[in-house]
Amino acid sequence: MRFSRRGLTRWLVRVGSGLLLAGCGQADEAEPSSAMDSTGMALVKKHAPVGFEPTPCWFSLAPDQVEGETVRCGYVAVPEHHAQPEGKWIHLAVALFGNPEEVKAKDPVVLLEGGPGVRAAYLASTLTRERVEALAPDRQLIVFDQRGVGASQPALECWEVGMPYPDPLRRCSARLQGQGIDITAYNTQESAGDVEALRVALGFQHINLRGSAYGSRLAMEVLRRAPQRVRSAIVDSVLPPRDNLYLQAVPGFDRSLRKVFEVCAADAACNARYPSLEPLFSSVVQSLDARPLPVVFQTQEGRSGRMQVNGAIFVQFLHSFLQDPALLETLPAMLHALKEEQTTLLGNAIGASPVLTSFMRLSYGMHLSTLCREEVSATTPEAVTAGAAGALPELRGFFLPTQLDMFNTCAQWPAGTAEAAWYEPVVSKVPTLLLSGEFDPVTPPGLASAAVRPLKHGHHVVIAGGSHAVLSSHPCAADISRAFLRKPAVRPDTSCAAEGRIRFLVEPPATTAAQADGNEAR
């Protein structure tokens, strides 16, 4: 796996926004799914509602799961436009985990994936019985590919992207539209209608919502549109509809990085070993931009790779490192090592980061339909640039362009625009737990602090030492969420939330100096 500098930079520009709202989660690679029938036409057609249609599961099961017993898979038909039930219908791929005869509670947890556009198969393949019980104690767990995603039919896949075609996005949108797909129907509002349709088709009186990152936004839209049958909602790394992803992307990155500098400065050991991190960061980025370094890495799937890392590429990866506390803790040592042109820590972090594989896990057409309609159409390049004015120069120079590039991308994707009501605050009486990570560069805690105010029975908890998607990375967040799910009318004990802290990697000088190895070879 080798990357040219130019090709990798283009890749990171393409997926940079795609990482912003993807919740953390690891899973096996999914088998490709098709949204085509035998004639090659997309499966978008008129369809009478028939409830749940059982089918074989479209993903590999965890070893202790038994298809037909502990996992049931199938399709649920929903209108392409919920306001036009007499029109075309589409199919959602659904998996129910847990034996309905064995669970104690009859209100399942509906898991809402992030992205937007992340395929559920990547998570579903990892769901052992123990993990299902952790996510949905005493309940069934419902996992599904959202409309336009993965095994749902049709799936808005753009295989043209990455191929040597001129205007690949226009080619993709023209192909999808030629198959009878209304690209404007693949958005959060329609997906919220799908959640209620799933509940009805599966025969549940009430459901519980669980969503992280983009999934939190979808959960909040369900609270707005169909709250009557929602028993509780747990939303993690919250981006409310009124907060524009691109307006706050650079400020959020800047806030998180400066917080790392501040916390290291306040830590005696970290500050003694790695003083003055802000000027060090600036120096490292400038040095990499002038003289890129070769970096060897190994992905979590065991694939080895090598790339030349310049200032722009490093800043893109840095944004993803800040989302993972385990990588965040290495940043002071990594900057110090890069100053000495030692790349071991950077290579380890790149291998652990989802950046290089995230694009493969997205149904890219659905990703664009949602972001272009709900985010990009609601702001301007000038506003995004103005919002970044106070950020570190290196973020303005190397991260801001990836955000502005989405305006060019969306100009090629006919997603339409969201109605004004979409951007209004969500007002609800449903018991709702909002979770934030202290260091989150994507959805900083202030967003959830504002979102919780119109939620009559809402509780906002900030996890100290946490970052993006704390439910999957922080035991305290998981404990709080389980307690809340058991008794959503009672505020859970959140005392553990203040106990976390970042423990920076502080290497002795001799160890750091000895790190140079074959990874540093030019």
Q: What is the largest CA-CA distance in the chain?
A: 72
Residue 46: predicted pLDDT: 52
- Would residue 439 count as lying in a domain? yes
- Would residue 22 count as lying in a domain? no
The token pair that represents 133 in the structure block? 């019980």
Does 168 lie in the same domain as 135?
Answer: yes
Cα(213)–Cα(442) distance, integer angstroms = 9
Residue 34: predicted pLDDT: 37
Cα(441)–Cα(448) distance, integer angstroms = 13
Residue 508: predicted pLDDT: 77
Does 229 lie in the same domain as 98?
Answer: yes
Domain that holds residue 236: 48-246+362-387+405-507
Does 184 lie in the same domain as 106?
Answer: yes
Q: What CATH number corresponds to the domain at position 227?
A: 3.40.50.1820
> ∠ CA 140-141-146 to the nearest 5 degrees?
145
- C-alpha dihedral sign at 79, 85, 89, 94: positive
Does 366 lie in the same domain as 354?
Answer: no
pLDDT above 90 covers a percentage of the chain that reads 83
> ∠ CA 506-507-508 to the nearest 5 degrees?
125
Q: Give the pLDDT of the chain (522 residues) as one tens digit per residue.
A: 554 444 455 445 555 544 456 654 433 333 333 344 333 333 445 544 568 999 999 999 999 999 999 999 999 999 999 999 999 999 999 999 999 999 999 999 999 999 999 999 989 999 999 999 999 999 999 999 999 999 999 999 999 998 888 899 999 999 999 999 999 999 999 999 999 999 999 999 999 999 999 999 999 999 999 999 999 999 999 999 999 999 999 999 999 999 999 999 999 999 999 999 999 999 999 999 999 999 999 988 888 999 999 999 999 999 999 999 999 999 999 999 999 999 999 999 999 998 887 778 899 999 999 999 999 999 999 999 999 999 999 999 999 999 999 999 999 999 999 999 999 999 999 999 999 999 999 999 999 999 999 999 999 999 999 999 999 989 999 999 999 999 999 999 999 999 999 999 998 765 443 344 444 444
Cα(298)–Cα(357) distance, integer angstroms = 12
For the entire predicted model, the pTM comes to 0.90
- Would residue 269 count as lying in a domain? no
Cα(176)–Cα(185) distance, integer angstroms = 12
- Would residue 28 count as lying in a domain? no
Q: Which of 340, 359, 378 is the last residue of a domain?
A: 359
Q: Nearest to residue 447, comparing CAs of 434, 457, 466?
A: 434
Task: Look at the chain and count its residues.
Answer: 522
Pairing of strands 89-97, 141-144: antiparallel
Does 292 lie in the same domain as 194?
Answer: no
Does 73 lie in the same domain as 187?
Answer: yes
Task: Please count the structural domains in the chain.
Answer: 2
Does 77 lie in the same domain as 204?
Answer: yes
* Helix/strand/coil percent split, the chain, to 5: 40, 15, 40
Does 149 lie in the same domain as 295?
Answer: no
Residue 23: predicted pLDDT: 58
Does 222 lie in the same domain as 278?
Answer: no
- Would residue 90 count as lying in a domain? yes
- Would residue 54 count as lying in a domain? yes
- Would residue 128 count as lying in a domain? yes
Does 204 lie in the same domain as 68?
Answer: yes
Does 200 lie in the same domain as 86?
Answer: yes
Task: For residue 109, give the H/E element and its range.
Answer: strand 109-112
Does 321 lie in the same domain as 199?
Answer: no
DSSP state of 166: S
- Would residue 67 count as lying in a domain? yes
Cα(170)–Cα(81) distance, integer angstroms = 23
Quick one: CA torsion of 423, 425, 431, 434, rounded to 10 degrees? Answer: 80
Residue 474: predicted pLDDT: 93
